[in-house]
Structure 1
Amino acid sequence: MFIPKPPFLSYRCRTLLTTLIGWLTLSGHSLASDVEHHHFSSPTLGYDYPYSVYLPDNYDTQATTPYPVIYMLHGSFGTDRDWVSRGNLQQVADRLIRAGHIPPAVFIMPGSRSWWVDGHNEPARSAFFNDLMPHVEATYRVGQERHLRGVAGLSAGGYGALNFALERPDLFAAVAALSPASYAPLPPRNSSAWRHPAFINDQGQFDRELWETLNYTAHLEEYRLRVTPRGTDEEGDLPPVPLYISAGRSDVYDAEFHARLLRQAMERIQPNEVRLDLYPGGHTWQVWRASLPAALNFLFQYVGQPNNVAAAEETAEQAMPVEESPDEVSS
């Protein structure tokens, strides 16, 4: 028997409805996690500290085992929402967790007005350690031990993540720096560091001494002494912090050159625990999106592994060639 289609639903409407239902179904399957945006009162800053948080599918506040946590730092003049809105962190983390490449984990994406330093505009470094980390560990079911923490960042956030790991190797099991703005001895003239309020003194000039005091080169010797066995009674058992670095080959800030200098300096201290990946492209989100899966795979070789011993061979994905993108970020 022929049954006519309801007249109130045209062919076009039925097609659109079918497409919408399919899109919603696929979206539900591909993004099973939650991303939330919060802020809390920071005594160190004297104002609210913003952050975004990625919670994995079926996040359990009462879980017997705490979740590993990765702190993801944004770039110069960025915000706490950049990693999700531009970096595809939610989609990448969902995919890697679903495939079993990384464990379910919490990602904290804080916001800062500085380069993650105690600069001329705000004490961002002190606020991170004294306010943000205690707040996160009191609010979420995340680990409070070194082997359950990692830190990563891009551009100025890579600068900050590297400094945090070198200064406090007791807190982080691994670090990833994507196109880190860790320029030595000084930033290139086109870098936003020369005009960023973090490094502008009361006379309105770039504070070279502050840069040299806070850059990674100033932390290397103390870091080396803390992680290098010396066979003395005072020797600790603190292992090095494995480092992942990435950079674009046509970066306008010459990030490849500075990344190679960084790798060379770190390999003198911790041979075989530094990895450098180079990608086609510049100082852009295309490069950082391409390198994010490899960075997370690298981090979780150590984060979440008891005693920082990797449980499996490296599973980092090889990046596909990417084209130069106009969405450049100053650094």
Structure 2
Amino acid sequence: MGLTSNKVLALAVLLAVLLFFGTIWLWPRLARRSWKAITGRVGLLLATQVTIFASVGLAANQAFGFYATWADLFGQETTPGIVVDHDPAKGAGPVKVLDTKSVNVPGGGRPATGGQIQKIEIGGKESRIGSPAYVYLPPEYFQSFYRNRTFPAAVVLTGYPGTAEALIKGLHYPQTAHRLSAEGKMQPMILIMLRPTVAPPRDTECVDIPDGPQTETFFAKDLPGAIAQQYRVGTKARNWGVIGDSTGGYCALKFALHHPGQYGAAAGLSAYYKAPIDVTTGDLFHGDEQLERDADLMWYLDHRPAPKTSLLVTTSKKGEDNYRDTLKFIDKVKEPTRVSSITLESGGHNFNTWRREIPATLQWMSGRLDDN
């Protein structure tokens, strides 16, 4: 059973409950001072606490999407993605569809009513990176009236470490997009959902690392090109946006600033504005000072020409560490760059806060993108 399985969580909770009541039931029998009785009491207490902590941990992982598999949890997922080149003459492309599933909405069993989620593998020609992702196709994509229409697309990124599944199960991006579109509050839009960790377990901060993973190239060039070959999406900047939370938010803003010819809009939910250097990132810049400066979004706004793109940043007055930096970031933006913001009175760096911001973010993104 997988790490995110409901059966695993239910089993852990059941064991915790049984051990709790078992401890109460057996405690009088273990009240003696013999070493066997003491060992029994210690064992029961430890077993109960371990199962309680395991239950809480599994529930938190399901809610926040930290780890996708047991191998991911224990640090055994270390193999980088490998790109396999295909012969275009044989009809093979850079996107491989692995599975399809319905959207958890009323009528979701029919793609023309509920849309569809496809699990795919994206191969990066220039970056040599391969990454799994989920694509949400809106109901209109399957309706005959729209068969000749292209759709705007938004890349949606998790934080680090994050899982792409959390964007569906925890943050409910497809369900929210479906509801808003049905209510006429946003246009139908394709969502490409994945995590920025395309070279696990390393946190590359979406940087083209010298002699390392070319993560920025993957997101700025390979991914849009691959998706455009597979799906009916536009190829201009006004057709493409990118949304992310935390690390994904930093990446989203950076992509729009560095590549305004590809991304016409970006939203950073609880984003920070400078790539950190820690044990998860390693040496990102290898002494390249210009690369490091460009990865600092505050420096970039001060020293580079203002790009023609639209940005959205979110924060809260209480609970977020980025509140003051977000105000500074907004103040540094100059025309023709446009900036908008969402500021909550309170809200921590967590899924509950982002779920409150996602509807307005999707509506904002929809208003910044075109379908042709």
Return the letter of the residue paired with 1:277: I
The answer to whether the aligner puts 1:80 opposite 2:164 as a matched pair is yes
Q: TM-score, normalised to structure 2's length?
A: 0.61
Return the letter of the residue paired with 1:276: S
- Summarize the Cα distance change of 1:197–1:103 in structure 2 as closer, same or farther, 3 Å threshold: same
Return the letter of the residue paired with 1:38: I
Correspondence 1:1-331 to 2 at 5 A: 27-29=105-107, 32-60=114-142, 63-113=147-197, 114-119=204-209, 122-183=213-274, 193-197=277-281, 199=283, 211-220=292-301, 221-224=303-306, 227=307, 240-251=308-319, 254-266=321-333, 268-270=334-336, 273-279=338-344, 280-304=346-370
Return the letter of the residue paired with 2:191: F
* 8 Å Cα contact 2:246/2:268 also seen in 1: yes
Return the letter of the residue paired with 1:34: Q
Choose between structure 1 and 2 for higher RCO, CA contacts under 8 A separated by at least 6 residues. Answer: 1
What SS does the corresponding residue of 1:103 show, helix, strand or coil? coil
CA distance in 1, matches of 2:318, 2:190: 33
* 8 Å Cα contact 1:200/1:207 also seen in 2: no
Q: Larger % of helix: which?
A: 2
Gaps of 5+ in 1: 1-23, 188-192, 228-239, 307-331
Q: Residue 10 of structure 1 corresponds to which residue in structure 2? A: none
Q: CA deviation at 1:261?
A: 1.1
* 8 Å Cα contact 2:285/2:291 also seen in 1: no
* 8 Å Cα contact 1:149/1:303 also seen in 2: yes
Q: CA deviation at 1:208?
A: 8.4
* 8 Å Cα contact 1:247/1:256 also seen in 2: yes
CA distance in 2, matches of 1:170, 1:117: 18
What SS does the corresponding residue of 2:139 show, helix, strand or coil? coil
Equivalenced residues, count: 255
| Per-residue Cα deviation, 1:107-145 (whole angstroms, up to 9, x for no partner) | 012333232221365211011233211110000111112
Which of the two has higher C-alpha Rg? Answer: 2
* 8 Å Cα contact 1:158/1:179 also seen in 2: yes
CA distance in 2, matches of 1:199, 1:87: 31
What SS does the corresponding residue of 1:28 show, helix, strand or coil? coil
CA distance in 1, matches of 2:187, 2:283: 38
- Summarize the Cα distance change of 1:94–1:27 in structure 2 as closer, same or farther, 3 Å threshold: closer
Deviates more, 1:154-163 or 1:209-218: 209-218
- Summarize the Cα distance change of 1:167–1:53 in structure 2 as closer, same or farther, 3 Å threshold: same
| Per-residue Cα deviation, 1:276-311 (whole angstroms, up to 9, x for no partner) | 2112211111111110111111111120177xxxxx
Q: CA deviation at 1:259?
A: 1.0
Return the letter of the residue paired with 1:169: P
Q: CA deviation at 1:218?
A: 4.0
CA distance in 2, matches of 1:76, 1:141: 30
Q: CA deviation at 1:79?
A: 2.8
Q: CA deviation at 1:27?
A: 4.4
Q: TM-score, normalised to structure 1's length?
A: 0.68
Q: CA deviation at 1:211?
A: 4.1
Computed over aligned residues only, the root mean square deviation of the Cα atoms, in angstroms, reads 2.9
CA distance in 1, matches of 2:361, 2:216: 23
Q: CA deviation at 1:246?
A: 0.7
CA distance in 1, matches of 2:288, 2:159: 20
CA distance in 2, matches of 1:80, 1:294: 21
* 8 Å Cα contact 1:117/1:198 also seen in 2: no
| Per-residue Cα deviation, 1:25-63 (whole angstroms, up to 9, x for no partner) | x94337812222111333445453211111111424982
CA distance in 2, matches of 1:146, 1:278: 27
Return the letter of the residue paired with 1:302: R
Return the letter of the residue paired with 1:97: S
Return the letter of the residue paired with 1:274: V
* 8 Å Cα contact 1:122/1:198 also seen in 2: no
Return the letter of the residue paired with 1:102: M
* 8 Å Cα contact 1:167/1:223 also seen in 2: no
